[in-house]
Amino acid sequence: MLKPEDFDFVSKLIKSRSGLVLTQDKFYLLESRLMPIARKRGLKDLGELIGALRGMDRALIEDVVEAMTTNESFFFRDTKPFDQFRHVVLPHMIKARASKRHLRIWCAAASSGQEPYSLAMILQDFASQLAGWRIEIIGTDISREILNKARAGLYSQFEVQRGLPITLLVKHFQKAEDMWQISSDLRSKVQYREYNLLEDLKPLGQFDIVYCRNVLIYFDQPTKTDVLTRISAQMPDDGFLFLGGAETVLGISDKFKPLARQRGIYQLNRPGAPEVDVTALEKLQAAAAGATSAASGAAAGGFAFPKPKAMQAGATGTLAGGTSGSATPTARPTTPSTTSPRSYGTGSAGTSTTGGTYSRPAGTTGTTGTTGTGTSRYGTGASGGSTGTTAGSGYQRPASPGGTAGSGSGSSFSSTRPSSSTFGRTYPRKPDDKKD
């Protein structure tokens, strides 16, 4: 069990080396990640490991910091920053840099390489427009081990399934036994360097586009401010910064400002920051939102089919005699009747109705009988008369048999309500697919 004073020592050591803030609620995380290192070193417990750390064993400190660093990444993560790159930033830079024909991109905390390789795939799609350009993509990370993985470009089946479209897998990867390796062409377009965000960034040079996503969330506010200030110093006036969905510069740094109407992408807060056209991206986003809304509506109802004509508001049915009658549903009565059938429409007395599409078979033929009254649950239609035959409208139940005398209107749904004066649980609700 890790002692509180040992936890404080390790957390301060990790923060000083990586910027990562470990709070008391991460106590379990520290233990779970450090025990494998202790076993690998032949140490019996975390106490001995902490003792070695206090002796400032440099190799051990690097192992501990690397173990505590989160290496979570996948291709085209969160989608939006890559759509913004493709439809806003890259078209803008192609015009703005037409004379220089040079573009530098930095992926800070690049982890196992999925982010810089995703950008390289997009740039490949613009190959004809970027012919003759010198483009550099630099990926940095604090972990030497994870950078070696990124350079190799080898990914498991699980890793390539996370965010990578099958078309891009086929286009840019080759099978390597039970792994997938990204093409040598794309690997050659990305350089990887071991680098710590807390160190001086000047040796990296200037960058037109910086991806520093899902990194700042692990820092305290003073460290966030410091990192953003130093990043801004390495960017030209018209540069772009990408942060993670849970990150912002607001209230942290005045060096950047959000790009109008777009979340997660920022410009330098300088007079030289240009106006950027986001129209193409907004159209794409609107189309995607519309498709999502349509899909949600279809999922909620099971199918995206329209209601049959006879069930639509204001639908018109054709009477047996050749005239037209409306089947407009009416509102539920505010006080339920205890004797009358439930009424949801109006019927024509003594006349049959012929429904539209999806009509049920005709009802029975009356003989002679007394006058009946009632209305259809879902629209017009009632039977009666000495020789009247009822054909139900769409989704209408067959009419009731006629009586023994005269003409009149019959009910196609004539069961009475329970005597309860309210809609209680004992009264069945209408099926969801037959709501008015």
- pLDDT under 50: residue ranges of the chain: 300-307, 313-436
Q: What are phi and psi of 59, to 5 degrees?
A: -60, -40
Q: Where in the chain is the domain with CATH 1.10.155.10?
A: 4-68
Tell me the CATH number for domain 80-277: 3.40.50.150
What is the C-alpha separation between 7 and 43, in angstroms, rounded? Answer: 17
Structural class in CATH, domain 4-68: mainly alpha
Helix (H, G, I), strand (E, B) or coil at 321: coil
Q: Where in the chain is the domain with CATH 3.40.50.150?
A: 80-277
pTM score, whole prediction: 0.63
What is the C-alpha separation between 378 and 414, in angstroms, rounded? Answer: 12
> Which residues, at least 6 apart from 278, have a Cβ–Cβ distance to it below 8 Å?
88, 259, 260, 261, 262
What is the C-alpha separation between 259 and 249, in angstroms, rounded? Answer: 12
Specify the pLDDT at position 70: 66
Specify the pLDDT at position 265: 96
Q: What DSSP element (H or E) covers 134? A: strand 134-141
Helix (H, G, I), strand (E, B) or coil at 311: helix
Specify the pLDDT at position 85: 97
Specify the pLDDT at position 298: 52
Specify the pLDDT at position 292: 67
Residue 400 contacts residue 412 (beta carbons within 8 Å):
yes
279: tokens are: 């129209």
Strand order of the β-sheet with 256-258 is: 190-194, 134-141, 102-107, 209-211, 240-242, 265-268, 256-258
Interval 345-388: pLDDT, tens: 444 444 434 444 444 444 444 444 444 444 433 444 444 443 44
